[in-house]
Amino acid sequence: METRAILFDLDGTLTDSGEGIINCAVMTLERFGLPVPSREEMRVFVGPPLTQSFAKYGVPEEKVDEAVAIYRSRYV
């Protein structure tokens, strides 16, 4: 059997991407003028879908897609 793809889970399994994820989430919340919780509280951004996390931290529903785009413009 031929292997065509190998997938890696990089959210804490092989690398710790938390710092980059949190930094980008902080930048996004700041762009919306929203309060930025402590770094510890921001760990909830690691893992769940960004749409859920941004909505939880006050991004209006109609702006969640924009927030994800801002986040992804930095986290490439």
Active site residues: 9
Phi/psi at 62 (5° precision): -75, -10
Rounded CA gap, 17 and 31, in Å? 22
Amino acid at 4: R
Q: Is 55 exposed, middle or buried (0-12, 13-18, 19+ CB in 10 A)?
A: middle
